[in-house]
Structure 1
Amino acid sequence: MKKIDELRQELSTKKEEVRGLLENDKVNEAEAKMPEVRTLETKIKLQSELDEAEEREVQNKLENRKDDSKMEKRTVDQDMEYRAIGKFLLGSEMTAEERASVNIGNSGAILPQGFVNQVQVLTDGFPSLKKYCHVIPTTTTSGKMPISSGSTSKKLAKLATDNEMVKEMITTKPVEYATEDYGKIIPVENSVLEDTTVDFFNSLIAPDFAECAVNSENEEIINIVEANSVEFEATDYKGIVKCLNTKVKPSLLKNTIILTNQSGYDYLDNLTDAKGRPLLNDSLAVEGGKTFKGREIVVLDDTELPAATDKKVFYIVNLYALIKFFDRKGYEIAVSKEAGFTYNQTFVRVIERFDTVKGDSRAAFKIEF
């Protein structure tokens, strides 16, 4: 019998004693027994709390064992996936289970989701513009997709009478996309490739690939921004304020950012108001980020976003509206032994596929002064 059951039985007996005394008009004796009743009730309450705490502790241990078991299984599965890819790349013999774990692409093996996740984590450490765009996953290399071309009248029409408005509301247009291959070739010692592990892919391949991927994606995005931004004349930072207030439609303001380079950011970061307080504010959404008039400032290297000599450049742009980023999911890996034969190396090639297409350019302005 559990301790709490013994206490409950003792309490029941003690209460019967008190009731018997009361029935015989022995009030004083009954009152003398009541502290014992209250003490037992307190003991039962405390014992119940202890029992519940112990049950939770046992349950947590069981759950942790389940999680550890799942994690161990995931680790084993992931190790096997990477080991199988290594064997596939080297042309080594594989077990039936290993062959089943390798997803073959057009010209190589598709890297597992764990690698994709690792690249995503690493790209967050770079100034990636992709996350501000409208990212559209695709499983095909090319195709068409309808997108809004930007209506001047964003409201509903009375379908029975507002015929002209209905025509104006049909503002979608098909855009064509064709994803292209963007790759990175990495020379690897043959002995390293033969001992392929999760760490090989996530620690050696992923960091270099992630940085190169961000730079390539940024370049394509910047090309569209530069080609479709309308010039807005200004002589100082007040022009940025004027552009935000008068040119960007309120419906597009929410996702609008201020895109600049290091020199432009340094200029803004040194601005102060009449009381000497900085005009830039800490971003509530981005750790370590800054905002100007409520708009997030995104900073690129001077070489990535060049300005005219002795000038500073700023793009007031809603990248989500402007850029349709067609992202063909998955990274493909292949090798070539011939190119590095004399160095006892194997050249590892990792490929991603994407395309960037112009969308709604109503919130894209360039300021240079």
Structure 2
Amino acid sequence: MNKELQKLLRQINDKKNEVKSLVNDGKLDKARAAKEELKALQEKFDLLFDLDEEEHEGIEDKVSRGTAKVIGGEKADKKNLVKSFVNIIKAGFLHVEPDEADVKVYKDALTSDATPNDEGQQGIGVTIPEDIRTDIIELRRSSDNLEQYVNVEGVTTKTGTRNIEVDAESTPFDNVDEAADFPEMDEPVFEPIEYKVKKKGGILKMTAELLEDTAANIMAYINKWIAKKTKATRNAMILKVLNTMTVGKEVVVSNLDSLKDIFNEQLDPAVAATSIVITNQSGFNFLDKLKDSDGNYILQKDPTLQTKGKLLFGEYPIVKLSKKTLKSKQILAEDGTTVTGYKHPVFCGDLKEAITLFDRNVLTIDINDKGSGMWEKDLTGIKVRDRFDVQPVDKGAVIKGEITEVVNG
């Protein structure tokens, strides 16, 4: 695809995002005008695309030989999409223009995602189509994926504000007699929650041998790596917000009654009813050994799960994270070097009320084999970018408990 068509494609996707953003903001007149501009851009793209006779003749020649498939503007099936997407990635490795048929399949598979810009790029940059992105989301779904426990809101702009009413559930309406005037009530108190989408990313180094494999195998390898890295990144951001919103308000958990105090007294009943417990391996080990006065273990198997999920008090699901993901805090002696114990974190609450993840829903891949040490080792770098932000919403919806473990010297 020539540079003019690439530029038009970016403008089309940017205009789609603009239309959605205007609709979300209630600016319908401007949204209609932007939609007309979008139609004009699409018509211009289609006309220029049709006039590119030389490349179309090459495609028709491949079709006649059975080495290419005419798409006809329809969305390709999953197998064709994966093959075309991988072919575009390979073209980036070779620093050549990708086959027009593959570009057409890729373009048809995009929804409203903006393709990455060319700033600072070598090689090629592409947005991951929705079907493939869905595979990545499915792969990262596991019990230790914290994204599923927080509120996730898709956004189409890099920045924005959401107004959340404070104590809305606790402010009732007044009684109104028949035919009487409605009384004035206290003005609602709103807390603005601002988000700024941040760009996160990393580089996957691929060997030349892998690139010679089938498209399905290459995409499976890439998807698995992206899923693992995006899960780790989103978990880290969520845990950072959890720690920040509870700093200085940690509660000592020393026994069974300490946990009951959290759920019975410190959490609002509406929040406690939908709460979960998040801890690491050490915290889980402490909870797993707790017994009631009759000698029965407090943790019980979750009958709704086929796996080994457990419930605290038979009610609150427990999410166990690795100690590498959710670290315990070291307790140091006066000399500042000797570790005398640890404080293991136990987060209790409803994370959907406490935290919102603003998801830009855009994953992009850049290809570049010019990185440090890659040329000598016959490696190619895939740079993956993910765009999202995590913000605290209700700081009273989660309590951080700390279990103290003393190290015997």
| 2:354–2:395 CA contact under 8 A, matched in 1 | yes
| 1:231–1:365 CA contact under 8 A, matched in 2 | yes
Match of 1:144 among 161, 170, 183: 161
- Answer yes or no: is 1:352 the counterpart of 2:386: yes
Quick one: distance in 2 between partners of 1:363 and 1:135? Answer: 16
Match of 1:297 in 2: 318
| 2:81–2:106 CA contact under 8 A, matched in 1 | no
- The Cα offsets for residues 147-197 of structure 1, whole Å up to 9 and x where unpaired, read as 3334362433458554243x1xx2333322111111120111235336561
| 2:365–2:383 CA contact under 8 A, matched in 1 | yes
Match of 1:278 among 281, 293, 297: 297
Partner SS, residue 101 of structure 1: helix
- Answer yes or no: is 1:328 the counterpart of 2:360: yes
- The Cα offsets for residues 316-337 of structure 1, whole Å up to 9 and x where unpaired, read as 1221111110011131001112
Cα 1:184/1:150, change in 2 over 3 Å = farther
TM-score computed with the length of structure 1 as normaliser? 0.72
Partner SS, residue 114 of structure 1: helix
Match of 2:255 in 1: 236
Cα 1:125/1:153, change in 2 over 3 Å = closer
Cα 1:163/1:89, change in 2 over 3 Å = farther
Cα RMSD (Å)? 2.7
Instruction: Give the letter for the 2:82 counterpart.
Output: Q
Cα 1:74/1:208, change in 2 over 3 Å = closer
1:169-188 matched pairs, under 5 angstroms: 170-188=188-206
Cα 1:150/1:197, change in 2 over 3 Å = farther
Quick one: distance in 2 between partners of 1:90 and 1:254? Answer: 56
Instruction: Give the letter for the 1:173 counterpart.
Output: E
Quick one: distance in 1 between partners of 2:214 and 2:382? Answer: 12
1:28-177 matched pairs, under 5 angstroms: 73-88=77-92, 90-103=94-107, 104-107=115-118, 108-125=125-142, 127-151=144-168, 153-157=170-174, 160-165=181-186, 167=187, 170-177=188-195
Quick one: distance in 2 between partners of 1:92 and 1:254? Answer: 57
Instruction: Give the letter for the 1:362 counterpart.
Output: G
Match of 1:343 in 2: 377
Cα 1:122/1:349, change in 2 over 3 Å = same
TM-score computed with the length of structure 2 as normaliser? 0.66
**How far off its partner does 1:127 sit?**
0.8
| 2:198–2:389 CA contact under 8 A, matched in 1 | yes
- The Cα offsets for residues 236-256 of structure 1, whole Å up to 9 and x where unpaired, read as 132111110111112212331
- What percent of counterpart residues are identical? 22
**How far off its partner does 1:88 sit?**
4.3
- The Cα offsets for residues 330-364 of structure 1, whole Å up to 9 and x where unpaired, read as 31001112112222221111111110011011122
- The Cα offsets for residues 221-242 of structure 1, whole Å up to 9 and x where unpaired, read as 1121112223334431321111
Instruction: Give the letter for the 2:378 counterpart.
Output: N
| 1:180–1:354 CA contact under 8 A, matched in 2 | yes
Cα 1:221/1:148, change in 2 over 3 Å = farther
| 1:80–1:98 CA contact under 8 A, matched in 2 | yes
Cα 1:351/1:272, change in 2 over 3 Å = same
Partner SS, residue 268 of structure 1: helix
- Answer yes or no: is 1:364 the counterpart of 2:398: yes
**How far off its partner does 1:210 sit?**
1.8
Match of 2:61 in 1: none
Cα 1:239/1:257, change in 2 over 3 Å = same
Cα 1:123/1:302, change in 2 over 3 Å = same
Cα 1:118/1:163, change in 2 over 3 Å = same
Instruction: Give the letter for the 2:328 counterpart.
Output: P
Which structure would you say has the larger Rg?
1
Instruction: Give the letter for the 1:87 counterpart.
Output: A
Partner SS, residue 211 of structure 1: helix
Unaligned ranges ≥5, structure 1: 1-71
Cα 1:209/1:74, change in 2 over 3 Å = closer
| 2:346–2:401 CA contact under 8 A, matched in 1 | yes
| 2:354–2:394 CA contact under 8 A, matched in 1 | yes
Match of 1:5 in 2: none
| 1:150–1:362 CA contact under 8 A, matched in 2 | no
**How far off its partner does 1:128 sit?**
1.2
Quick one: distance in 2 between partners of 1:345 and 1:364? Answer: 45
Quick one: distance in 2 between partners of 1:201 and 1:73? Answer: 15
- Answer yes or no: is 1:215 the counterpart of 2:232: yes
Unaligned ranges ≥5, structure 2: 1-75, 108-114, 119-124, 331-340, 404-409
Partner SS, residue 265 of structure 1: helix
| 1:126–1:214 CA contact under 8 A, matched in 2 | no
